[in-house]
Amino acid sequence: MTWNENGGRLGEEFFTPGSSSFTEFLAAHRPELLSTRRVLPDGVRAAPDQVPHGTTVLALSYRDGVLIAGDRRATMGNLIAQRDLEKVHPADDYTAVAFAGTVGLALDMVKLYQVELTHFEKIEGVAMTLDGKARRLAGMIRQNLGQAMQGLAVVPLLTGYDPAAPEGERGRIFSFDVAGGLYEKTDFHAEGSGSPYARGALKKLFRKGLDRREAALAALQALYDAADDDSATGGPDINRRIFPIVSVITEDGFERLPEPETEELSREMVEHRRNRPDGPHVTP
């Protein structure tokens, strides 16, 4: 039975017991729908100035959970492809994913990952553990290895609130490499072209026990430093009112900071930078 036979009724594959993985289901029955498995012809490599790429995203733990943020710029070579790209997305109620790399593939991967987690919960009757979510995303990245080797890499950053973790360690951060390698990070991490500068800033600004406002300011300062040294990273655009996306995950779930709050913090940071362009100095 095909997908369109019998007046649109579902085929037998939908009623056959199998894996709780939606991506494995697609791979078995409609592999052409998996964009992460399409490889360019042999000898062909994507030109970096022809494909939009997202740049800097970061995450840090704080007193109530974990914060994840990203700038808004996408570039094609030396051109700005988009000024208001959204790189931070909820994966479910207690997990968020941000991305650097090839924008089109990354957005497809995020949507597929969201469906993957929902599908698992509907099939199994329980939500996947945070460690399981990280391993599942690593597997999806591994499926994209062929395209990554041809210049179409996607590098996500995963954060989640884990109620099973010890008190004070429930905000967790996971990074990946293009081959699907999985690494849990402590305290903070950043990915993308501006990540070395963002990590350098967070190394100075991070401390245990930050409240939400302090964590958001630290993230904005780190993104500002990344934009200051990396042309592919966009800082806050006051005139166009385009500001970084900042979201938090706590025991109450995922929350994107309201635009007025992000704008207020961004304007405060930019004003302080007028007097101290290199950013805040760490006091002993």
Catalytic residue among 23, 36, 55, 56: 55
Tokens of 55: 């740049």
Residue 46 half-sphere exposure toward CB, CA atoms < 13 A: 23
Amino acid identity at 273? R
Residues in the chain: 284
User: Diameter of the chain by CA atoms?
Assistant: 73
Phi and psi based region of residue 77 (left: phi greater than 0; alpha: psi -120 to 50; beta: remaining): left
Residue 65 half-sphere exposure toward CB, CA atoms < 13 A: 22
Residue 129 annotated to the active site: no
Cα-to-chain-centroid distance, residue 200:
19
pTM (predicted TM-score): 0.86
Cα-to-chain-centroid distance, residue 118:
18
Residue 6 half-sphere exposure toward CB, CA atoms < 13 A: 7
User: One digit per residue, pLDDT tens: the chain, 284 residues?
Assistant: 344 444 566 566 555 555 667 666 556 556 655 665 555 566 556 666 778 999 999 999 999 999 999 999 999 988 999 999 999 999 999 999 999 999 999 999 999 999 999 988 988 889 999 999 999 999 999 988 888 888 888 999 999 999 989 888 999 999 999 999 999 999 999 999 999 999 999 999 999 999 999 999 999 999 999 999 999 999 999 999 999 999 999 999 999 999 999 999 999 999 999 988 888 876 55
Evaluated on CA atoms 200, 204, 209, 212, the torsion sign reads: negative
- φ/ψ (deg, to 5) at 67: -115, 140
Cα-to-chain-centroid distance, residue 129:
18
